[in-house]
Amino acid sequence: MKVLVTAKRVTDPDAAIRLKADLSDIETEGLEFKINPFDENAIEAAVVLRENGAADEAVVVSIGPDESTQYIRTALAMGCDRGIRVEGDDKALDGDVVARTLAAVAKAEKADLILIGKQAIDGDSNQVGQLVAEYLGVGQATFVNKLEIEGGAVKARREVDGGLETLSVKLPAVVTADLRLNEPRYPSLPNIMKAKRKPVDVKSFADLGVDATVKVKTVSYQQPPKRQAGVKVPDVDTLVAKLKNEAKVIG
C-alpha cells in the first residue's frame, strides 16, 4: 500500500503578523513558517503505517515555492520515504487548485491512501480533503482521531456533534487528520541527516495537467479591532447593568 501525505507550509500562529501599508497582503519579510499542525498529525499517521508494515511507502507532497522544500525534509526526517514539491506561488493558490493538484499527484503515484490535515490554520477553509475525494471519485473519512487498516479498507473513528462515529472506507480513500489522532514525533538528528539524502522531485502544474486558475481571490486584508481597555465598576449592580445595557450579553 502506498500512502500520500501532505505537508503544507503555513505562517507560524505564534508569529507577529504585519500587514502591508496598502492592506493587499501580509508582510512576509522575517515571517516564520511551519508545517500545518494538522498535516503533522497526518504525517505521523503515515509514518506509523509505514513502520507497522501496513504501508510499503509513504510519499509526502507540498505545493509552494522552493522554501517549502525544508518542510518536506522535515516530513522525510519524521520517516517518510520521498517527497514531491509542486512549484507554486502561495498567493496564487486556493482550495480548489490545491485539491485538483493533490488529486493529480495521487493519480500519478497510484496512491492507495491520501492523508491530509483536516484544515490549514491559515485559511481554515476545511475543504481540500473533501474536494480531493470528489475529484478522485473515492470514499472519505474526515476529522479522524483513530485510524487502522483492515484488509482492503480503512477503519476510521471520527468526531461528530453527537459523539464518535466509526467508518469503514474501501481503499483507495481520503482521510483527513484531527489533532487527537496522534502525537507527532520530533525528528532525531540521525534521521534529519538521512532526510537530506532522500529524493524530492519537483513538478509543475503543467507536468500534472492541472489548470491552476484560481476561483477565489483575496481582495484585501484588515487588522482586527484593537481590544479596548477594561473598566472598573464600584459594585455588582453596576457590573450587571453594563453587561445588560452596554455589552448586551445578558437579558
For residue 250, tell me if it sits in a domain: no
Torsion of CA 132, 134, 135, 141, to 10 degrees: 30
Residue with cell 480503512: 154
Domain membership flag for residue 75: yes
SS3 sequence, 176-195?
A: EECHHHCCCCCCCHHHHHHH
Domain count of the chain?
1
pLDDT in single tens digits along all 251 residues of the chain: 999 999 999 988 787 778 788 877 777 777 788 999 999 999 999 999 999 999 999 999 999 999 999 999 999 999 999 999 999 988 888 999 999 999 999 999 999 999 999 999 888 888 999 999 999 999 999 999 999 999 899 999 998 888 899 999 999 999 999 999 999 999 999 999 999 999 999 999 999 999 999 888 888 888 778 887 888 889 999 999 988 888 888 87
CA-CA distance, 170 to 70, in Å (whole number)?
A: 33
Q: Residue 27: count other Cβ atoms within 10 Å of its Cβ.
A: 12
CATH of the domain at 35: 3.40.50.620
Instruction: Give how far the C-alpha of residue 126 lies from the chain's centroid of Cα atoms, to the nearest Å.
Output: 9
Domain interval for residue 73: 2-245
Whether 251 is in a domain gets the answer no
- With respect to residue 71, please indicate whether it lies within any of the assigned structural domains: yes
